[in-house]
C-alpha cells in the first residue's frame, strides 16, 4: 500500500487501502486482453491490455476469483512490464473505469515505482529507468491528466505517483517541465478547485524529498502559487487552501527563509493569516504545523513575528470548546520554541567560542505572556475526558519548558494561579494547582521557589485521594531535582524537615495510590543524601546523614506498611516494589555511627527475614502469582543485602553473625527457584553475608555446600564463589577440594567456561599458596586447553571473546596470588604464549 505521505489525510489514505494492497508487490496480469475500450475519447493504444475486468475481480469477495485475478496481474507484469505499467496509467486516467478499479490501478502503479521503505527501492528505480522513454512519457502524461479527474481517489493516487517519479527523474533532469506544468494548472483561468487541490497535493509530494535541487526562480514560482492559493479572499475553496498550507510545509525546506527578508515576510504573513482568518480548523492546524517546523529550524529569524504568533495563540487557546488538534499544535509550537532556546543555551555553554551570537532574549516577553494562557488552558481542560486530557498534559509539559526557559520570571505568574486554586472546593482545581508547582521546579532559583514546600505539606492532608497523591508525587520531584544537603542553599529549612518527615511517615500508610507516591518521594529524598555523602569529607558525612536518623524508625514503619497495602496475594506487587526500593536507599544512606539509625536497622532485619520466609513458604498458583513471588524474593534479598552491608561494616556486625545461619538457608532456598533474577540476587547477598561474617563463615559452609552444584552456576553465582574464598581465605581449606572438583565439572559446559576460568583467578588471589600447591597445575592445563583455536571459529566470535576475557582474568588473579617465583615464571610463559596466539588471530 502507499506509504503515508505528507498531508495524506485520513480519508485520502483510507481510499487507497484496498484489498489487493495487502499483497506483497503490485500484482500484474497476463492474457487478459480484450477489445480496446474507449478512454476519455481516445482508444487504448495497440499492445495495451484492458485490465479493468481483472482489477475488478482482484477485489471480489470470493477468494477463488480474487486469487485468480491476482495471478493474472502478476503474469501480465512479468510478461511485459512496460505494457503493464502503461495499462495501469491508462486505467487510472480513464473516466469510464469504475472508481474502485482506478484506485487499485493507482496502488499497483505506485508500488511499482516506490519502495522507499523496503529493500526493493533501488531495484524499482532501476526498472523504471530502464523503461522506454516514450512509455515513461505516456505514463507521466496520463498522471498529469488524472490530476483533473472527477474521482478523488484517482487524483490522490496520481499526486503520490508524481511525487515519487519526481524523486527519480528530477536529479537526471528527465522531467524538466514538471514544475512548469503544475504551476500552469494553478495559473489556468477557471481551473476547477479539484484540479488545484490535486496539483497542490502533487507539489507537496514533490517537495517532500529534501535531497532534490531546484533553482531559485522555480522555488519562487512555487511559493507564489502556494501563497496565492492560501489567500482566503482570492481562493474560496477551503480544500484548496488546506492543500496549499500543507504544500507550503514542504516547500519551506527549499525556500531561502534564513537570508531572504522578503521571502520570509511573505511566508510568515501567509501562515499567520491562515491561522487567523480561516474558519476551517484543519487549515488553522496546518498553519501551526508550518510554524512549528519554522521554529525548529529558524528560531533566530522569528523575532519580528513573536507578537503576531502570540496573538494567534491567544485566539487558538482562548475559547472553551476550541478544536483540540489546533490547540495541541499551537502548544507544540511554543514547546518547540522553548526546546530550541534551551538547546541553544546548552550548546553555548559547551561551545561558547563557536556560538557567540546565540541570544534568545526576545522570547522571554512573549513566553511571560504565554504563561497565563497556558494556565487558563489548564483550568478549562482539567482531565474530564480523553481529548481534554491531551490538551491538559501538553499544556503542563509546555509550562515546564517555559519555566526552564524564563526561570524566575515564571514564579509570580504561576504562584498567582496556584494560590487562587489550591484551596478551592473543586478537587480538580486543587490537583491542577499542585501540578503547576511540580512543572516549574527546574528553571527558577531555590529562593523564588521557597513557598512550594509549605503548600505541598498542606495538600498532603487534603480530603481527596488524588490531590494527596499528586502532592506526594510533586514532593518526590522536589527531592529528585532540587534536594542536596551538601548545597549551601537548601530547598527546605531545618524547621521544615520534621514536618516533611512526619507527613511522609503518616502518608506512607495512606491508600495504595497515595502510599506509592510517598515511597517514591522517600526514595529520592534518600538518594539526595547519597549524592551528598559521596561528595563530602568524612566529618560531614556524619552530619549530613544524621539528619535522617531521628525519623528513620517512622520512615521504615511507613515503608513496611506501604509494602503491605492492597496485598490481594502474599506477593503484593507492584505496590511493594516502590516501598522496598525506597527502603533499600534509606538503609544505604543511614549513618551507621548514629545509635538511633543502627537500632532502627537492627529491628528491621528480622522483619525482612520473616517476610522472605513467608514468601518462600507461600504457594503460588497462577503464573502471575509465581512471577510476583519471584520478584518479591528478589526485592527482599536486595533489602537484606543492604542491611548486611550496612551492619557488617559497623560495630554491630555481631547482629549479622547471629542471624547468618537462618539468612543463609533462606538465600539458598531462593537459589533453587525458577527465576534467574531472584537467584542472582540471592547469590550476591550470600557473598555480602560471607564478607560481613568473615572467616567464621566456615561454620555455615555445610549449609551452602548443600546448594553448591553445577546446575545452579551462573556468572553472578560464580562471582559469589570468589567472594566466599576471599572472605574465608585459608580457612576454606576443608572445603577446597570439593569446591574445585565441582568447578572442574562445570568446565564441560561451554556457556559456563569463561566465568569458571575467571573464578579460578579469584580463588588463586584469595588462597595464594594453597592454590599454588594443590591446583595450579590442573588449572594451567585447563587454561591452555581453553586457548585452543577450535573455540575461536568465525561463527563463535562472541563466545571466543568471552573465553579470552575469562582466561585473562584467570592469569591476572593467579599471577597476583602465587608466591613462588619459579611457578610465577611458568604461568608468565603460559600467558605470553596465549598473548602471541591472540595477536595472530586477525578476527579477534
List, for residues 511-527, the tens digit of each pLDDT value. 988 999 999 999 999 98
pLDDT of residue 200: 95
Contact between 771 and 817 (Cβ < 8 Å): yes
In three state form, how does the secondary structure of 766-806 look?
A: HHCHHHHHHCHHHHHHHHHHHCCHHHHCHHHHHHHHHHHHH
Mean local confidence (pLDDT), 754-760: 96
Mean local confidence (pLDDT), 459-463: 94
List, for residues 127-166, the tens digit of each pLDDT value. 888 888 899 899 999 999 999 998 999 999 999 999 989 8
Cα separations in angstroms, 680 against 248, 620, 637, 644, 673: 58, 21, 10, 16, 11
Mean local confidence (pLDDT), 468-491: 86
CA 663 from chain center: how many Å? 40
The secondary element (H helix, E strand) that includes residue 242 is helix 238-251
Burial of 219: CB neighbours in 10 Å, binned 0-12, 13-18, 19+: middle
- Helices vs. strands in the chain: H and E counts, helices first: 39, 2
Work out the number of other CB atoms within 10 angstroms of the CB of residue 790. 7
Angle formed by the axes of helices 306-317 and 324-350, to 10°? 140
List, for residues 93-106, the tens digit of each pLDDT value. 999 999 999 999 99
Q: Give dist(CA 98, CA 697) in Å, integer.
A: 86
pLDDT of residue 114: 78
pLDDT bin (cut points 50, 70, 90) of residue 123 is confident
pLDDT of residue 15: 33
Backbone angles phi, psi at 536, to 5 degrees: -110, 160
List, for residues 646-677, the tens digit of each pLDDT value. 998 778 889 999 999 999 999 999 999 999 99
Q: Which long-range contacts (CB under 8 A, 24 or more apart) does 214-219 make?
A: 214/179, 214/254, 216/256, 218/179, 219/251, 219/254, 219/255, 219/256
Which of 348-357, 600-609, 835-844 is most confident? 600-609
Mean local confidence (pLDDT), 759-781: 94
pLDDT of residue 595: 84
Mean pLDDT estimate for the chain: 85
Mean local confidence (pLDDT), 694-709: 95
More confident of the two residues 496 and 412:
412
The secondary element (H helix, E strand) that includes residue 501 is helix 496-507
User: Phi-psi region for residue 345, left (φ > 0), alpha (ψ -120 to 50) or beta?
Assistant: alpha
pLDDT bin (cut points 50, 70, 90) of residue 262 is very high
Global pTM reads: 0.80
Cα separations in angstroms, 347 against 261, 334, 355: 27, 20, 8
In angstroms and rounded to an integer, the radius of gyration of the C-alpha atoms of the chain is 36
Mean local confidence (pLDDT), 285-306: 92
pLDDT bin (cut points 50, 70, 90) of residue 537 is very low
- pLDDT surpassing 70 at residue 6: no
pLDDT bin (cut points 50, 70, 90) of residue 31 is very low
Amino acid at each position: 500500500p502507499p506509504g503515508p505521505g505528507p498531508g495524506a489525510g485520513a480519508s485520502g489514505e483510507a481510499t487507497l487501502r484496498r484489498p489487493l494492497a495487502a499483497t506483497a508487490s503490485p500484482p500484474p496480469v497476463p492474457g487478459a486482453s480484450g477489445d480496446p475500450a474507449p478512454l476519455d475519447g481516445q482508444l487504448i493504444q495497440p499492445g495495451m491490455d484492458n485490465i479493468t475486468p481483472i482489477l475488478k475481480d482482484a477485489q471480489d469477495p470470493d477468494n477463488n476469483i480474487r486469487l485468480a485475478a491476482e495471478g493474472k496481474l502478476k503474469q501480465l507484469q512479468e510478461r511485459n512490464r512496460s505494457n503493464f505499467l502503461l495499462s495501469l496509467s491508462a486505467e487510472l486516467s480513464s473516466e469510464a473505469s469504475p472508481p474502485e478499479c482506478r484506485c487499485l490501478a493507482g496502488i499497483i502503479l505506485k508500488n511499482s515505482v516506490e519502495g522507499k521503505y523496503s529493500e526493493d527501492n533501488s531495484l524499482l528505480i532501476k526498472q523504471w529507468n530502464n523503461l522506454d522513454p516514450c512509455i515513461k512519457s505516456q505514463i507521466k502524461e496520463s498522471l498529469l491528466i488524472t490530476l483533473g479527474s472527477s474521482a478523488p481517489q484517482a487524483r490522490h493516487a496520481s499526486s503520490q505517483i508524481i511525487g515519487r517519479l519526481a524523486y527519480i527523474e528530477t536529479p537526471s533532469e528527465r522531467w524538466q517541465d514538471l514544475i512548469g506544468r503544475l504551476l500552469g494548472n494553478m495559473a489556468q483561468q477557471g481551473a476547477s478547485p479539484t484540479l488545484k487541490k490535486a496539483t497542490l497535493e502533487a507539489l507537496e509530494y514533490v517537495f517532500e524529498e529534501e535531497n532534490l535541487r531546484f533553482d531559485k526562480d522555480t522555488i519562487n514560482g512555487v511559493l507564489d502559487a502556494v501563497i496565492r492559493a492560501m489567500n482566503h479572499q482570492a481562493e474560496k475553496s477551503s480544500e484548496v487552501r488546506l492543500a496549499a498550507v500543507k504544500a507550503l510545509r514542504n516547500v519551506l525546506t527549499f525556500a531561502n527563509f534564513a537570508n531572504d527578508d522578503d521571502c520570509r515576510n511573505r511566508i510568515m504573513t501567509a501562515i499567520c493569516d491562515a491561522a487567523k482568518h480561516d474558519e476551517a480548523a484543519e487549515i488553522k492546524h496546518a498553519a501551526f504545523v508550518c510554524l512549528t517546523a519554522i521554529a525548529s529550524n529558524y528560531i533566530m529569524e522569528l523575532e519580528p513575528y513573536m507578537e503576531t504568533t502570540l496573538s494567534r495563540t491567544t485566539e487558538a487557546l482562548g475559547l472553551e470548546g476550541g478544536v483540540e488538534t489546533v490547540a495541541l499544535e499551537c502548544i507544540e509550537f511554543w514547546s518547540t520554541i522553548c526546546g530550541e532556546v534551551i538547546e541553544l543555551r546548552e550548546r553555548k555553554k559547551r561551545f561558547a567560542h563557536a556560538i557567540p551570537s546565540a541570544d534568545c532574549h526576545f522570547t522571554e516577553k512573549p513566553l511571560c505572556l504565554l504563561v497565563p494562557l497556558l494556565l487558563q488552558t489548564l483550568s478549562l481542560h482539567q482531565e474530564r475526558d480523553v481529548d481534554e486530557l491531551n490538551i491538559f498534559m501538553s499544556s503542563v509539559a509546555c509550562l515546564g519548558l517555559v519555566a526552564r526557559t524564563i526561570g524566575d520570571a515564571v514564579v509570580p505568574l504561576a504562584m498567582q494561579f496556584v494560590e487562587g486554586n489550591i484551596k478551592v472546593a473543586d478537587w480538580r482545581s486543587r490537583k491542577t494547582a499542585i501540578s503547576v508547582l511540580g512543572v516549574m521546579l527546574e528553571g527558577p532559583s531555590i529562593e523564588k521557589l521557597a513557598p512550594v514546600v509549605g503548600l505541598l505539606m498542606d495538600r498532603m492532608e487534603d480530603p481527596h485521594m488524588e490531590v494527596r497523591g499528586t502532592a506526594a508525587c510533586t514532593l518526590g520531584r522536589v527531592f529528585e531535582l532540587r534536594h542536596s544537603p551538601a548545597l549551601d542553599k537548601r530547598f527546605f529549612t531545618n524547621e521544615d524537615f520534621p514536618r516533611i518527615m512526619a507527613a511522609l511517615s503518616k502518608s506512607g500508610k495512606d491508600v495504595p495510590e497515595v502510599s506509592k507516591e510517598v515511597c517514591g518521594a522517600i526514595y529520592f529524598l534518600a538518594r539526595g543524601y547519597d549524592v551528598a555523602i559521596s561528595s563530602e569529607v568524612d566529618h560531614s558525612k556524619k552530619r549530613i546523614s544524621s539528619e535522617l536518623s531521628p525519623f528513620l524508625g517512622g520512615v521504615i514503619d511507613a515503608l513496611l506498611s506501604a509494602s503491605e497495602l492492597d496485598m490481594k496475594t502474599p506477593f503484593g506487587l507492584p505496590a511493594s516494589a516502590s516501598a522496598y526500593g525506597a527502603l533499600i536507599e534509606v538503609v544505604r544512606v543511614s549513618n551507621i555511627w548514629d545509635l538511633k539509625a543502627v537500632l532502627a536497622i537492627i529491628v528491621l532485619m528480622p522483619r525482612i527475614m520473616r517476610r522472605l520466609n513467608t514468601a518462600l513458604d507461600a504457594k503460588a498458583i497462577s503464573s502471575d502469582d509465581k512471577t510476583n513471588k519471584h520478584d518479591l524474593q528478589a526485592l527482599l534479598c536486595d533489602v537484606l543485602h543492604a542491611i548486611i552491608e550496612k551492619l557488617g561494616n559497623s560495630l554491630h556486625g555481631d547482629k549479622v553473625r547471629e542471624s547468618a545461619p537462618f539468612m543463609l538457608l533462606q538465600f539458598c532456598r531462593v537459589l533453587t527457584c525458577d527465576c534467574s533474577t531472584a537467584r542472582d540476587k540471592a547469590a550476591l547477598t550470600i557473598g555480602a553475608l560471607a564478607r560481613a561474617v568473615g572467616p567464621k563463615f566456615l561454620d555455615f559452609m555445610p549449609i551452602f555446600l548443600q546448594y553448591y552444584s553445577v546446575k545452579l552456576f551462573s556468572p553472578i553465582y560464580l562471582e559469589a564463589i570468589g567472594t566466599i574464598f576471599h572472605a574465608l581465605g585459608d580457612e576454606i581449606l576443608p572445603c577446597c577440594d570439593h569446591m574445585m572438583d565441582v568447578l572442574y565439572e562445570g568446565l564441560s559446559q561451554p556457556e559456563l567456561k569463561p566465568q569458571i576460568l575467571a573464578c579460578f583467578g579469584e580463588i588463586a588471589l584469595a588462597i595464594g599458596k594453597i592454590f599454588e600447591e594443590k591446583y595450579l597445575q590442573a588449572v594451567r592445563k585447563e587454561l591452555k586447553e581453553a586457548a585452543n583455536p577450535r573455540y575461536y571459529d568465525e561463527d563463535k566470535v562472541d563466545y571466543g571473546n568471552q573465553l579470552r576475557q575469562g582466561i585473562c582474568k584467570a592469569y591476572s588473579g593467579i599471577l597476583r596470588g602465587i608466591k613462588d617465583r619459579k611457578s610465577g615464571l611458568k604461568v608468565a610463559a603460559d600467558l605470553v604464549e596465549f598473548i602471541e596466539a591472540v595477536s595472530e588471530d586477525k578476527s579477534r
